[in-house]
Amino acid sequence: MSAAIGFGKDLIGLEHLTAEQIRTILDVAEPFKEVSERAIKKVPALRGKTIVNLFFEPSTRTRVSFEFAEKRLSADTVNIAAMGSSVVKGETLVDTARNLEAMRIDMVVIRHSSSGAARFLAERIPSNVINAGDGQHEHPTQALLDLLTVRDRLGRIEGVRVCIAGDILHSRVARSNIWGLLKLGAEVAVCGPPTLVPPGIHELGVCVFRRLEEAIEWADVLNVLRLQLERMEAGYIPSLREYNRHFGITSARLGRAPRDILILHPGPMNRGVEIDSDVADGPHSVILHQVTNGVAVRMAVLYLLAGGAPERAEAAKRGTGDES
């Protein structure tokens, strides 16, 4: 992010951000919530900036959320979906990057099925790169909006017990959440079928629950991950029915919790598989609050990344009561 506030050029993941940088993003997201409540939901902060949303993987909610964020900051945006572009005709990511660079764009939001693709692009173009999900690596803005939602609802993140439940192995959301939560002092656990819990995860300081009942006993927050239906075909679980019976979040299971548990889900949900409708729509679900916060967090990230020559920023820091 901008050198002015100690970030790099890009947002690739939360692994390499400090707790202070993460808090800064969350704090900056606060005023952006209010912008989305205005009658004219638009500020000119990124006027004249060109942003390309480069989506190599189908995604509706993340792309729409970014697009709202960009438009509410007055940026000019172009969406490129891999399906309709030369990418599928064999153009490499390197060539795509060079073409974008030649068009003098300011920022790229990239979603890609390969882990490391966002970083790959960031290392090759001068524009700011924001990772909107790369393979099974990271999905930083999703984790940031999860963090903001937990902070909104519980007033803090430090000391909060968060269990990420479901397909941890294939989840970039899980990885970004683990980094962010640990850095901000939360206690983190994961719970899922052992076939879907990645090796070595406990070495990160994450507790692993084998049974959902134990996780519910322990947690203040459950972040329920989407179960991709392909996982059954690939033999990670025997059937969706069995998954729901043993690893699905049901109101009966939650009813036995010793305290109210906040329910998050990055969406889109498979109702009746990883989460039952009465839980998803129930009083402890903050799933729609997450969607709202998603726009604010992405506005904050876009704003913090945009522009900025560090030496002039130094000069601008002088002058407290003299901000004209």
At position 43, the amino acid (one-letter code) is V
Choice from 260, 278, 281, 314 touching another protein (CB under 8 A):
314
Least distance between another protein and beta carbon 252 (Å):
32
- Bridge-partner residues for 112, per DSSP? 134
Site residues (CB under 8 A) for another protein, limited to 187-226: 198-201, 203-204
The reply to whether 54 sits near another protein by the rule CB under 8 A is no
The count of residues interacting with another protein (CB under 8 A) is 67
Q: Please say which residue, 34 or 255, places its beta carbon nearer to another protein.
A: 34
Name residues contacting another protein, limited to 246-305 (CB under 8 A).
303-305
The H or E element containing residue 223 is: strand 221-224
The smaller minimum CB distance to another protein, of residues 35 and 219, is found at 35
Distance CA 281, CA 153 (A): 17
Q: CA-CA distance, 324 to 311, in Å (whole number)?
A: 19
Alpha-carbon dihedral 168, 173, 178, 181, rounded to 10 degrees:
-140
Distance CA(244)–CA(311), nearest Å, equals: 56
Which secondary structure element, helix H or strand E, spans residue 107, and what is its range?
A: strand 107-112
By CB under 8 A, is residue 11 in contact with another protein? no
Stretch that binds another protein, among 33-41, 77-85, 143-151, 223-231 (CB under 8 A): 33-41
Phi/psi at 50 (5° precision): -105, 125
Report CA Rg, the chain: 20
Helix or strand holding residue 150 (H, E):
helix 140-154
Instruction: Verify binding: residue 324, another protein, rule CB under 8 A.
Output: yes
Using CB under 8 A, which residues numbered 169 to 188 contact another protein? 172, 175
Q: Quick one: 92 or 239, whose CB is closer to another protein?
A: 92
**Residues in touch with another protein (CB under 8 A):** 2-5, 15, 24, 27-28, 30-32, 34-35, 38-40, 42-46, 48, 73, 92-94, 112-117, 119-120, 134-138, 172, 175, 198-201, 203-204, 303-310, 312-316, 318-324
